[in-house]
Amino acid sequence: MTDVGRVLVVGAGTMGSQIAMACALAGLDVDVGDIEPAMFDTARHQLALRVDRMVETGRLTEPEQDDAFARLHFTTDLDTAAARADFVIEAAVEKLDVKRELFARLDRLCPEHTVLATNSSSFVPSKLADATNRPDRVCNMHFFNPALVMACVEVVRGPQTSDESVRTTVELARRLGKSPVVLDKEIPGFVANRILNAVRDEAISLLENGIASVEAIDTVCRTALGYPMGPFELMDLTGIDIGYFTKQARYAETGDPKDAPSRSVTELVEQGHLGRKSGRGWYVYDAHGKRTMSAGGT
C-alpha cells in the first residue's frame, strides 16, 4: 500500500478545512489548496475555534494543537502541492465539470502512486476516473459534517478502483481515527445520504403540503425518533446548496422529476439563503451561528 506521509486537500471550505485538520491532528503534513486566498483566513479562524474547544474539553493539549497547525499549509500553488502529495482528497464545489477538470489536472501533476479521492456524495468514482490516466487509483472518501467530529467515512470503489487503493484509503481513514465503511459497488448517494435523503424529501413534502411547520417537523424527529437534530436543522448545518447541487446532478442523470430539487429548496438557494454559513436558511442565525429566530412555513 502507498505510505501516506503528505496529503493534499483541494478546497478550503468548511468540509475541506476540517478534513485537512483531521489529517494534521493525525500527524500528517497537509497542504490545503484553493483558488481563493480569502478562504484561508476564514478557514484558520473556524478551525481555531473548533480546536480551542477540543483543548478546553481536554481532548487535545496545547502542544498538540500547535503541532497540528504547524503541519497545516494553505496555498494557491496547486502545482507544487500536487507534485508532493501521496494522497489527494478533493472537496471542491459539487459540480461535475469542475471536478473532472480538477481530476485531469491532478492526474498530470501528482506522482504516479498518488490516490485521487473525492469527498463528493453526489458523484461516484466512474464519473471522475475516466478524466484521468489512473482509474485504478480513483475512489470516493466521503466524510460527514462536521468532519472533525463525525466518525464515519464511506469509501466507495468504482469499477476500476484497485484493491490496493481501497486498502490505502481505509488505512488512512483509520489513521485519522475514523470508522471507514467500504461500498463494493458504486451507487449515487452511497448509504447514509440515500437514507437521509428519503427522510429529507418526506420532511419537505410535509412542509410544502401544509401539514406541519419546519420547527414542528424538526421537533418530531428529535423527540419521537431520537434524531440529534431535525432534517431542516441538518440542512442548515451542512449547507442547503449542497443538497440542491446533489439533487440537480441526480436529476440530470435520471431525468426523473422526483430527483429534481424541491420548490422550497430552489427558492432558498436562489435567494442566497444557504443555512448557517449565510446567516439564514430554514432558520435565521447570528454572526456566531446561533439560531435567533424560529422558522415558519414556506
Q: Is the dihedral of CA 237, 240, 241, 242 positive or negative?
A: positive
Cell of 118: 473525492
Determine which one of 17, 122, 142, 213 is catalytic: 142
Cell of 152: 464515519
Beta bridge partners of 284: 280, 293
Is the distance from CB of 94 to CB of 50 less than 8 angstroms? Answer: no
Mark whether 145 is an active-site residue. no
Mark whether 197 is an active-site residue. no
| Of residues 49, 58, 60, the one with CA closest to residue 17 | 49
Distance of CA 297 to the CA centre of its chain: 28
Determine which one of 193, 197, 213, 262 is catalytic: 193
DSSP state of 261: P
Q: 283-292 — which CB contacts under 8 Å span 24+ positions? A: 283/214, 283/232, 283/233, 283/236, 285/236
Determine which one of 119, 120, 122, 154 is catalytic: 154
| Of residues 230, 225, 226, 174, the one with CA closest to residue 203 | 230
Mark whether 270 is an active-site residue. no
Q: What is the largest CA-CA distance in the chain?
A: 55
Is the distance from CB of 56 to CB of 33 less than 8 angstroms? Answer: no
Residue with cell 430554514: 282
Determine which one of 17, 120, 121, 122 is catalytic: 121
Mark whether 121 is an active-site residue. yes
Question: Which DSSP string do the residues of 19-79 spell out, in sequence order?
Answer: HHHHHHHTT-EEEEE-S-THHHHHHHHHHHHHHHHHHHTTSS-HHHHHHHHHTEEEES-HH
Which residues are annotated as catalytic?
121, 142, 154, 193
